[in-house]
Structure 1
Amino acid sequence: MRSEVGTTINLSDYAPPSYLVPSVALTFRLHPNRTIVKAVLDVRRHPDTAPGDELVFDGDGIELVSLRLNGAPVDDVEITPDQLRIAGVPHEPFTLEIETAIDPEANLALSGLYRSNGVYCTQCEAEGFRRITYFPDRPDVLSVYTVRIEAPKADAPVLLSNGNPGAAGDLPDGWHFAEWHDPWPKPSYLFALVGGDIVGAFDRFTTMGGRDVKLGVYVERGKESRTGWAIDSLKRSMKWDEDVFGREYDLDVFNIVAVSDFNMGAMENKGLNVFNDKYVLADPTTATDTDYANIETIIAHEYFHNWTGNRITCRDWFQLCLKEGLTVYRDHEFSADMRSRPVRRIAEVRLLKSAQFPEDGGPLAHPVRPTAYREINNFYTATVYEKGSEVVRMLRIVVGDDAFRAGMDLYFDRHDGDAATIEDFLACFEEASNRPLTQFALWYHQAGTPQVTVETDYDTAKGRLTLTMHQSVPATPDQTDKEPMHIPIAFALFRPDGSHFPIADQSDLVKNGVIHLTKRRDTIIFDGIEEQPVVSLLRGFSAPVTLDIDQPETDRIFLARHEDDLYTRWQALDRLATDTILASYRQSNGETLPASATSLIGLYGEIAGDETLDAAWRALALTLPGETTLGREAGLNVDPDAIHVARETFLAAIAERHATAFADLYDSLLSDESYRPDAPSAGRRALELVLLDYLTVSEADGGRARALFDRADNMTEEAGALEVLMLRQPESGETATARAAFENRHGDNPLVMDKLLGMIARIPGPDAPGRVLQAMTHPNYIETNPNRVRALVASFAGANPSGFHRPDGSGYRLLADVIGRVASQNPQLGARLATHFRSWKGLDAARRDAAHKTLSDLRNMRDLPLDVRDIIDRTLS
């Protein structure tokens, strides 16, 4: 654990490595407390650098057993906690043999080689390989790996690593070995090893080039029956990447291993993906529709990394978005093709607005490509992933579909086997589209969410519509004076009957239904508009910006009824709901609704009953904006309790107005058909559960929710009904009985019990901190397991604003106490928890004071890990 202040690493200081390691041979002799690692490295000087005679390799908390250079012991060596220094190394290529000892059982940081539930596992991104052996642990050192793993056969009958399998066999004294070779050069962060008593489920896939690939999904014994959906998702991902991007898999095997202790969702190690078992295991009685969709997406994401991350990796960690943002875009497109494109787009934007927009607007703001960091693990953020994906989506809009595909093909061809940069990536699209992208590149370099303000003017006599657009990019801690961005704004102009006005292109300013805003202020004129149009802007959420347009409510309601782009139709309704709730919040602390809410409340009934609309879309349309998003929209001096009241007041008004219609629709959706995870079935259940929530608001006894809980034969309805009971009637006898039944059925399944912990964490109100503290005594809550902590504590801090932001600071103290305990063992987990303080400056005075005191106390803790200190320092800045 590093507890020092930390050195700032700057992009401007990048220099190529002094030494390269073209090949690595590793031998592991696995032992729970003293694993011996022998590394034989082929080392040579970088041809483009002129290093001296000193070699410096990275290390972190490992014991050096022996060191030999070209077979001879090394005398002139210096070992520090984070480095190995050897003076006087040869100028010609040489062999370095390094033997180290590590303690996997004691590695609760879950970085490097660790042992979880008897299974040896590695996690080397970003800087975990240096916890295994001394090495130039940076992305631009690419090596071919040959690995031999030795272990007692009874303890670890399965031994896996990257690449293709080689020799395997028995050794004396009940041990055995397995050898693996990966022919594709890769950086150390993609190294993987797994060993343990795990079992596999297998299938095969034939690539478009005729390669027969053996697929394996390995899980802890007894869980193998829940791997079918993961295998199916993997095969569909492989086929999709061939069809859409022309990318073929390149090894003889592709293995996935699911483990129960993992800091991330999953890791794309070449040929051996390691997953949090939450994103692999599924069957109808233990996984919800959301779980099935997440598994499908994350399996695809990690597989797609084979090309966007592995075959082409990033030159340095500042280029992290080059693999993550690009791959998120690819998995978004995959999910849109597998399911409903507008429904998936809504889900993507909701995540962006709830997670990334607050990041952009707070002290943790940073560009999609940062320019400096103290701890790279703290930059695995929504900005890098989600906003990074939006930048790729915009790039496609700017250059067009054909040039985008040509640019991707050129990128794959030109940089296969490279450690690349954002500049390398954009250069391919400049060449493919024959247009400069210098201004567009600002999306990678400038932090903050741009705001676009639009003024409209319609001249009836001339049949002319004038749009005057202004853009501004807010100042952030590291950037104040920012240049105007290239913002693509997809648009349409509607006639009163719902048809479109035809729009002619206007050179590069208006093209293919997109306004390309490139100046701080620009004016767009449309002639031949013979009647007052309804303007629809930012269709499909074509750019990650906030939009302020002088548009009457009648126009917004028109769009919520008639927009034929279903994302934008949802956007209009969501904006109406947001404005209504915030008006209630500002006028009466949320206790009464503005008079204008009447027509909007009626619109919810129309949408719910419109059978021409996808059920999943209707479910999202009926789901009101979240309290976190509402708080961000409210501005400064936010009172989360009043935000909660305002949202509940509006929800109750909708429920009361449409009680009979919602009940009839709910009853019609109940089905006795066997569970299927397909999109239409999932959409039906989503609508059913949203309606159940509305109906339970006005019920005294939660009868419908309890009835659904009792009849449910799948986890989606069972957990959904229980959540409605727990959030709407947490103290009722019906809820207590249902909860007890749920625990009795699923108490031996930690992933299912995580759902219960999450429900407890999200119950709003002043009693929330006490409930969470009580839940920490639950047998399922184990603070060394990241899934348990995320389910309870992160859900409380991130998804329960009125419960977490208590004026007395009790929610903040609870979170700080957990951070203090977990950070000493798992700094990455502690740092991620600390990000939940990011919006404290926007709260009212009492909450700001309480949060500031808690953050200051945290910063003063002794031996606070660098990961956590970095977040706290930036949050307080």
Structure 2
Amino acid sequence: MSNEVQEIFLKDYKKPSFTIESVNLTFELFEEETNVTNIMKFEKLDESADLVLDAQELELKEVVLDGEVLGSDRYTHDEETLTISNVPQEFTLEIRNRIYPQKNTELEGLYKSGDIFCTQCEPEGFRRITPYLDRPDVMSIFTTTVIADQKKYPILLANGNKVHCHESFNTRHGVTWHDPHPKPSYLFALVAGDLDFITDSFVTASGNDVELNIYVDKGNSDKADHAMKSLINAMKWDEEKYGREYDLDIYNIVAVDSFNMGAMENKGLNIFNSAYVLADADTATDANFMGIESVIAHEYFHNWTGNRITCRNWFQLTLKEGLTVFRDQCFSADMNSSEVQRIQDVKALRERQFVEDASPTAHPIQPKSYISMNNFYTATVYEKGAEVIRMLHTLLGEENYRKATDLYFETFDGQAVRTDDFLWAMKEYGEFDLEHFKLWYDQSGTPSLEVEENYADGKYTLTLTQNVPNKVDGSLQKAMYFPLKIALMDKTGAVAEEKMLIISKESESFMFEGFEEKPVLSINRDFSAPVIIKHQDVDFAFLMQHDTNSFTKYEAAQEFAISILFKLMEDIESDISEYLEAFGALLELDTDLSYKALLLELPSISTLMQKQDVVDFEPLYKAKDKLSYEVAKKYEAKLLKLYFQNHEPLNSALDSKSIAKRALKNRVLSLLSALESKEIAAVAKEQYEHSLTMTDRITALDVLESIDAELSEIAFNDFYNRYKNNTLVMNKYFALLAASPREGVLDRVMALQNDEVYDEKVPNLVRSLIGVFARNYKYFHAKDGYGYKFLSDKIIEIDKINPQMASALSGAFKIYPKMIESNKKLMKATLECIVSTQGISKNTFEIVSKILK
């Protein structure tokens, strides 16, 4: 494979040589095969061009040009393309081909998920369905007819509005769908199955009545109500916040078990991983409910930021994804606690994207090249892309940001555009250095900001020195341009001055006057820029108690704990009394309970490893265990009191107060688990057995697995027998066991692969068992190297059936350059084994080869 890969570069982009006015598709679905008829109306834009269509793994049956059946001498068909020479200026091309969805384990193009036919065409799956100009800048009007057995597949869906039902095929039937809005092929969708559904409606601001349907597997319709509620809320929110109305007569969502992604925004027919649709109190956690709300909204918001306006090429992916993630984050903040949402967004960014930024696979939010586009659906493109949009929002302010987005929609509706086009609209309503700001799209890595404070004669001077890491290839990068929110407080915690600074130079100073004593700095409030703050001699305890900004208060609590943990790594008997006193003050805070649950959270191992130049997980875990134990021991009585004050085992309500109470009491229970006492085990056992919510049961199982092997086995057996027929819940079962802190976890993970519930062809199950184990740093990075060997064998095995899943698993090795030498040596041998495997996919080759460089 290493000799065959072809790198694609942004600089080589060329406009298409043809446009496609319309596409008329007919699918005849059978159990062993699917026949596709594709009729396209073309116009040539380049007089000298041959027609080269993307065509992958297709069985070509017939090619007809303007009514003439072409002989094999008139076209060339290979593994990747169908080429026809000497085509006229305007012509109609009809292609008949055959595909085999039942054999499609890669889950790209048309495939079967259980008994359901469904599609995934982003980014390059449509070429696996029929020959086409499979690129996002070729937009056309699609009409799709789906024909299948009426009994087995009573539900037949495609993009757009339903225009005709066909009942004259004996035992078969058909439905024709028409999408009046031009779209690229990656937004094409088709679904056929025997499905239950729920239906509702939404009247747009203009008075258009939209039919809303959510299709699910038989027997699951009672688990789709929350998704429907989330969809209606998203439609209302997008009208109010962005002035965007829905533009079809119908909006369909379909949930399937086998899906490589979370969901897909196909025009008018969203296809979802069932994990982001199905939920009830018995089977879904509070986090699941919130995740569904967020993803439902994300895919709906794509109707404008991704569908009506799409990407010119795949290098522009953050144009739609970064913007839409920002939109769904703001929606979730409005629907729930904005304080908690912001912190959760930053946590996700740091735990996934900061790690990526510091790895050999670091890339800008607008990459300059790729081997497999599937590998660039990353935290950098999505989450860092959203932070870049948030900075624009901060620079412009709410009112001007809305004017700028209105201009963007009005100017580029129906077009495939670039990030530069979006930035142009922002600049029309903002006074900022656009050319300098654009470095966020072109540079990789996370900038750091060194803070120096000076105070004399009533004057306070803040000096900030910016450091942007080199590119992966070692080349230098420039200082960035970003907004930085700060506040200066007096010793009582009162804010004396609050300001947004514009940071644009490698080093710059800002002076503030009129202070009787040195003020206390609160920096990067609201996490106004995705940078790492390096600030010495900070009074974290003061900020934990007095900071008025919810994010920087949380940040102080985290940073104080991190500083203590690193002291413990140097000397496990270090004095931690000051931190314990500050933690005790948090317990007394009268604040939102869900926010309080976050304040009481100790730093994750992932957070700690990002602070190290060389990572050795053993001392990290040892220090974390020590601090956890000391916190739990000192405050056991207070923690237990908090637990029982908020423990309502029979309350399964989803209102904010109920969710907050569960969040706090489960945080407390997890903290108390560090004691490994019989009393805490009994509390966890009681919670597992008598609580109504999955949130409570999952926490209880996790605690029991940590502290009492015997009780854990009993509870897990009960859980398995109760939910073994529910795949979504079994994902939780496998994930809990794969994340276990107990010895022997690798052996148990290997054994679980033989469980009758586990299926390597279902991505959710693979992520839950293999993927979660790869994030169990204690055992994945064990000094014997068995964790590495296990994962590399799985990557090679899974690559043969689903390269996208295999390349995602390969990301577990991104930490390779930072590991201690003994681990690096073991990792290197493992990675070299993967990359040298005969027939390894370009997806996996690209990730592993970059890690090895």
1:132 corresponds in structure 2 to: 129
Give, as a single letter, the amino acid of the residue that structure 2 aligns with 1:23: S
1:144 corresponds in structure 2 to: 141
Q: 2:258 aligns with which of 257, 261, 279?
A: 261
Q: Say how many residue pairs are matched.
A: 849
Q: Distance in 1 between matches of 2:838 and 2:778?
A: 31
How many Å apart are 1:15 and its aligned residue? 0.8
- CA offsets, 1:434-463, max 9 Å, x none? 54411011001000000100110111xx20
1:5 corresponds in structure 2 to: 4
How many Å apart are 1:765 and its aligned residue? 5.7
Higher deviation after alignment, 56-65 or 612-621: 612-621
Q: Distance in 2 between matches of 1:175 and 1:605?
A: 69
Q: Which secondary structure state, in structure 1, belongs to the residue aligned with residue 118 of structure 2?
A: strand
Q: Distance in 2 between matches of 1:544 and 1:771?
A: 39
- CA offsets, 1:304-359, max 9 Å, x none? 00000000000000000000000000000000000111101111111111100010
Contact 2:650 2:692 in 1 (8 A): no
Q: 2:727 aligns with which of 750, 775, 780?
A: 750
How many Å apart are 1:401 and its aligned residue? 2.1
- CA offsets, 1:47-80, max 9 Å, x none? xxx3414110101111111100001012310001
Q: Which secondary structure state, in structure 2, belongs to the residue aligned with residue 388 of structure 1?
A: helix
2:798 corresponds in structure 1 to: 822
- CA offsets, 1:478-516, max 9 Å, x none? 46221111021110000111111135xxxxxxxxx1111
How many Å apart are 1:677 and its aligned residue? 1.8
1:507 corresponds in structure 2 to: none
How many Å apart are 1:405 and its aligned residue? 1.2
Q: 1:705 aligns with which of 681, 684, 698?
A: 684
Q: Distance in 2 between matches of 1:129 and 1:380?
A: 18
Contact 1:233 1:299 in 2 (8 A): yes
Q: Distance in 2 between matches of 1:51 and 1:772?
A: 59
2:492 corresponds in structure 1 to: 497
The question of 1:811 aligning with 2:807 is answered: no
- CA offsets, 1:93-132, max 9 Å, x none? 1000011100010000000000111100000000000000
- CA offsets, 1:602-630, max 9 Å, x none? 222221232x2111111111111111121
The question of 1:74 aligning with 2:58 is answered: no
Q: Distance in 2 between matches of 1:624 and 1:693?
A: 10
The question of 1:470 aligning with 2:470 is answered: no
How many Å apart are 1:368 and its aligned residue? 0.5
Give, as a single letter, the amino acid of the residue that structure 1 aligns with 2:484: I
How many Å apart are 1:736 and its aligned residue? 1.1
Q: Distance in 2 between matches of 1:3 and 1:150?
A: 42
Q: Which secondary structure state, in structure 1, belongs to the residue aligned with residue 435 of structure 2?
A: coil
Q: Which secondary structure state, in structure 1, belongs to the residue aligned with residue 527 of structure 2?
A: coil
2:817 corresponds in structure 1 to: 841
Q: 1:682 aligns with which of 653, 659, 678?
A: 659
Contact 1:768 1:804 in 2 (8 A): no
Contact 1:149 1:179 in 2 (8 A): yes
Q: 1:621 aligns with which of 591, 596, 599?
A: 599
Give, as a single letter, the amino acid of the residue that structure 1 aligns with 2:511: I
Contact 1:447 1:479 in 2 (8 A): no
Q: Distance in 1 between matches of 2:3 and 2:151?
A: 41
The question of 1:368 aligning with 2:347 is answered: no
Q: Which secondary structure state, in structure 2, belongs to the residue aligned with residue 95 of structure 1?
A: strand
- CA offsets, 1:185-231, max 9 Å, x none? 00000000000111110000011111100000000111111000000
2:13 corresponds in structure 1 to: 14
Q: Distance in 1 between matches of 2:169 and 2:302?
A: 39
Q: Distance in 2 between matches of 1:693 and 1:213?
A: 45
Give, as a single letter, the amino acid of the residue that structure 2 aligns with 1:495: D
Q: 1:58 aligns with which of 34, 37, 54?
A: 54
Contact 2:326 2:387 in 1 (8 A): yes
- CA offsets, 1:737-777, max 9 Å, x none? 11111112111111111111001111136533222112212
Contact 2:625 2:674 in 1 (8 A): no
Q: Distance in 1 between matches of 2:270 and 2:391?
A: 29
How many Å apart are 1:269 and its aligned residue? 0.3
1:876 corresponds in structure 2 to: 852
Q: Distance in 1 between matches of 2:290 and 2:587?
A: 23
The question of 1:485 aligning with 2:512 is answered: no
Q: Distance in 2 between matches of 1:308 and 1:53?
A: 32
How many Å apart are 1:550 and its aligned residue? 2.5
2:764 corresponds in structure 1 to: 787
Contact 1:446 1:479 in 2 (8 A): no
Q: Distance in 2 between matches of 1:53 and 1:409?
A: 38
The question of 1:609 aligning with 2:582 is answered: no
The question of 1:397 aligning with 2:375 is answered: no
How many Å apart are 1:150 and its aligned residue? 0.3
Give, as a single letter, the amino acid of the residue that structure 1 aligns with 2:583: Y
Q: Distance in 2 between matches of 1:711 and 1:447?
A: 49
TM-score, with structure 1 as normaliser: 0.95
Distance 1:205-1:485 versus aligned 2 partners, 3 A rule? same
Q: Distance in 2 between matches of 1:359 and 1:155?
A: 45
2:505 corresponds in structure 1 to: 519
1:280 corresponds in structure 2 to: 277
How many Å apart are 1:873 and its aligned residue? 0.7
Q: Which secondary structure state, in structure 1, belongs to the residue aligned with residue 405 of structure 2?
A: helix
Contact 1:474 1:480 in 2 (8 A): no
Distance 1:855-1:427 versus aligned 2 partners, 3 A rule? same
Q: Which secondary structure state, in structure 1, belongs to the residue aligned with residue 123 of structure 2?
A: coil
- CA offsets, 1:562-590, max 9 Å, x none? 111111100111111111112212x13xx
Q: Distance in 2 between matches of 1:425 and 1:655?
A: 50
1:510 corresponds in structure 2 to: none
- CA offsets, 1:129-157, max 9 Å, x none? 00000001000000100000000001100
Contact 1:199 1:220 in 2 (8 A): yes
Q: Distance in 1 between matches of 2:240 and 2:782?
A: 51
Contact 2:650 2:691 in 1 (8 A): no
Higher deviation after alignment, 302-311 or 760-769: 760-769
Q: 2:834 aligns with which of 833, 837, 858?
A: 858
Give, as a single letter, the amino acid of the residue that structure 2 aligns with 1:580: I
1:167 corresponds in structure 2 to: 164
Q: Distance in 2 between matches of 1:364 and 1:601?
A: 39
How many Å apart are 1:727 and its aligned residue? 2.7
Contact 1:26 1:40 in 2 (8 A): yes
How many Å apart are 1:697 and its aligned residue? 2.3
Contact 2:649 2:687 in 1 (8 A): no
Q: Distance in 2 between matches of 1:282 and 1:443?
A: 38
1:720 corresponds in structure 2 to: 699
Contact 1:766 1:806 in 2 (8 A): no
Contact 1:4 1:866 in 2 (8 A): no
Give, as a single letter, the amino acid of the residue that structure 2 aligns with 1:41: M
Q: 1:190 aligns with which of 187, 199, 206?
A: 187
Q: Distance in 1 between matches of 2:308 and 2:814?
A: 35
CA RMSD of aligned residues (A): 1.3
1:111 corresponds in structure 2 to: 108
Q: Which secondary structure state, in structure 1, belongs to the residue aligned with residue 721 of structure 2?
A: helix
1:25 corresponds in structure 2 to: 24
Contact 2:58 2:99 in 1 (8 A): yes
Contact 2:649 2:691 in 1 (8 A): no
- CA offsets, 1:640-663, max 9 Å, x none? 121111111111110001001111
Q: 1:382 aligns with which of 379, 384, 391?
A: 379
- CA offsets, 1:367-388, max 9 Å, x none? 0100111110000000000000
Provide the identity percentage. 39
Q: Distance in 2 between matches of 1:51 and 1:3?
A: 36
Tell me, which stretches of 5 or more residues in structure 1 are unaligned?
504-512
The question of 1:84 aligning with 2:60 is answered: no
Contact 1:766 1:802 in 2 (8 A): no
2:415 corresponds in structure 1 to: 418
Give, as a single letter, the amino acid of the residue that structure 2 aligns with 1:104: P
Give, as a single letter, the amino acid of the residue that structure 1 aligns with 2:738: A
